[in-house]
Chains A and B, each alone.
Chain A
Amino acid sequence: MSPCLDVLFLAVSLAGAASPLRVVSTLPTPGEIAREVGGDEVQVEVLAQGWSDPHSISPTPALMSRVREADLFLEIGLGLELWAERVIEGSGNPRIRPGQPGWCRVTDGLPRLEVPTRVDRSEGDLHPDGNPHMWLDPLYVRRMAEAVEAALARLRPEAAAGFAERRAAFQRRLDAGLFGEELVGLVGGDRLARAAWNGGLEGLLARPYKGAPLADRLGGWLARARALAGRTVIVYHKSWVYFAQRFGLEVVGTVEEKPGIPPSAAHRERLWALSRERGVRTIAYEAWYDARIPRLLAEETGALAVEVPLEIGGVPEATDYSTLLDTILARLAGDGGG
């Protein structure tokens, strides 16, 4: 082949190769989902660090600049990232405005917990559409992956089959992480996920198979969480409702008097009494909250105050979604992080 033809061939190849879709996510978990589902077809940026309070990121021009050329913007929504609106607005990028194909709220269509029946500020800094901290339940992340897949396929239909394949692989890894390899191999991840989603997992696990209940074959995060079953916990903010629902944690109170409202002296007294009465063993707080109050309460009641990451990158060992869940469970069980 002559050099001219070589150059021509290279040019044609380059022209035919689509550049990666630029995906920007407000938080690390939707960003990881996009990486998992998008593979080489995407280039992902995450705006908020895992150790920062997702409610109160400053919508700086630096963030706007990172969104300027984005093809897809991923957010949790439900009033969590109020700052995202200003970031999109300031970026001058019309492709990612709400309602456009380049905008995706990954929680759309997912069942919400703690939707308030009374919406006014006397109830604190509440989320009128429900608690947004859904990513702490792997089954919600499983569903978010479907939303991300749909958004990517909308923008790049020719790669839809690849997105679907990677989404399924990601879900299989989540299933293995949640239920353990053995049970997934025996029953199937989809079936287990469906049973867990619909509240039928305990019934399924109670069924005998080869002389023993299927529960004996449960592994993964759910098996580890069994050690936490019934453990009473006080958390700083109402971030853990989805996690608690999935893993059987009993959250008996919050350090905040109401969402966003720091504790008064009277509330601290109530927490102290509650801790004694309910035998609270763990007081969990996120990195951005003042640790002094949980630590003081822990000292007074004999409980363990632990810093628990809410997101990937929240602590150094939470490097991806799987290690995030590992870390949360380990810390709640009292293995470091206090």
Chain B
Amino acid sequence: MRRSSIVVAACALALPGPARAQATDPELDRVLAEQEAADLADEVRRLRARVEALESRPASPTALNPRITVFGDFLGTHTPSGRLGESARGSEPGRTAAGDPVLVPTTSTPNDSRFNLREVEVDLRTAIDPYADGVLILTTESESPGEFETSFEEGYATLHRLPAGLVGKVGRFRTEFGTTNRLHTHDLPHPTRPSPLVDFLGAEGDIQHGVSAAWLAPGTPLEVVLQGLDGENEAVLAGPAARRLAGLGRVRWSTPVGLAGYAALGASTLAGSRDPRGDETATLTGTDLLLQWRPSTWRSAAALVETWYLDSERASGPDPHPFGWSAWLQVQPALRWFAGVRYDESEFTGGVDHDERWTGGAYASWYTTEFLRVRAGWEHTETDFGSGAQGEDTDALYGQLTFVFGSHPAEPFWVNR
């Protein structure tokens, strides 16, 4: 019954409309009528086949399931000096036993040259209801080969029906401090996180629980983000013991430059307490400038400069004001090839010394497709501190393979492809 109704309806739809002025010639009328009769018979046959195919199609077994994407990041490191770059560059979070420096650079950690499945990330996202979307990112990380630690890197709901064009976010997320901080490890354009980012915001960047409101100004690409956070960042705030909230504000203005260029200028500030009681405060301020030129999918260039400045007030002793910056330049000479250089500088203004670290590096990435990337990199780090003699140098060679499979989520706008 249903099938025949559909066919009849389809035939009715397929019949010519009111006779047109052109078809008044009897010979033409006959020609057209014969042809249309033949066409209609043919169409009925095709529609029958189509209806049968539609009626026999099973419901999708994946309906209502979240979109799932899996990222894997495999890193091989060789340090000729026998000292590892990545973990060595992390700052010891919190404070020293003496309560002095805000940022305390660690000395290099002895380590073998090893291969390591550095990170596996499972990204699930879907609409929760008409008012909110959900994102859950489960990450398994490894700092030493064979030792894995699993955590929820992010888990939040995005509220998109708020008034005044606000987009809300509630849960645990990468905060909006700067540009590189918002990137997951596999999205980084280079093998490691910039040193100042690690020094000022921690080895994984700044990930906190909180609430967020983002607003895009009407008529101009000016973004404003305000976030209330629980202050759990260990590098500059009180860490898990925090009992006072922290706040983050960010503005970013962006503009097209010519037909293929793009520029974005941002400023961020993160303010909170350094200690659980709130006696000491810290305000981290950052700026970032991104320039992109992309005339085609097989040729592009990008540059990013970021700065970090920490203004910290302590209950006793001198107030440290460390500064750091990082600059990155990348070119794409061919469809599959990307190459770049990065320079980082961090200073650690502790209670006693003015310690600094410089890192320079270069890398080249080759993509089989956007889903599989092979990368080689080199980094050289110099410090004017260290265990033993001052001015310890480290070289590290990296080999990296990154893959993604699953539902192919939309990429953030600035990532290198």
Binding site for B on A (CB under 8 A): 49, 53, 55-56, 58-62, 64-65, 68-69, 82-83, 85-86, 89-94, 97, 99, 121, 124-125, 185-188, 190-191, 194-195, 198-200, 203-204, 207-210, 214, 260-262, 287-290
Contact = CB atoms under 8 A, between A and B. Distances in A.
Given A49-B259, A203-B39, A93 B292 contact: no
A124 B410 contact: no
B262 A60 contact: yes
A58 B256 contact: no
Contacts of B14: 194, 198
Given A65-B216, A198-B39, A262-B336, 14 more contacts: A49-B259, A62-B256, A65-B220, A69-B218, A83-B413, A90-B167, A92-B160, A92-B214, A99-B130, A125-B370, A200-B42, A208-B31, A209-B27, A290-B298
Interface string B287-330: 00000101011100000000000000000000000000000000
A187 B371 contact: no
Interface stretch (B16-24, B103-111, B141-149, B268-276): B16-24
Nearest to A188: B20
Given A121-B405, A208-B31, A83 B298 contact: no
Interface string B211-222: 000111111111
A198 B294 CA distance: 42
Interface in B342-379: 368-371
Interface residues of B, number: 65
Contact of B410 (A59, A99, A185, A203): A59
A85 B35 contact: no
A57 to B, nearest CB: 9
B35 A289 contact: no
Given A61-B254, A82-B408, A92-B214, A186 B31 contact: no
Given A68-B165, A92-B216, A190-B17, A260 B370 contact: yes
B271 to A, nearest CB: 24
**Which interface residue of A68, A85, A185 has the most chain B CB atoms within 10 A?**
A68
Closest 6 CB pairs of A and B: A92-B165, A200-B39, A65-B221, A62-B221, A288-B296, A58-B413
A288 B332 CA distance: 14
B244 interface: no
B35 A207 contact: yes
Nearest to A211: B27
B154 interface: no
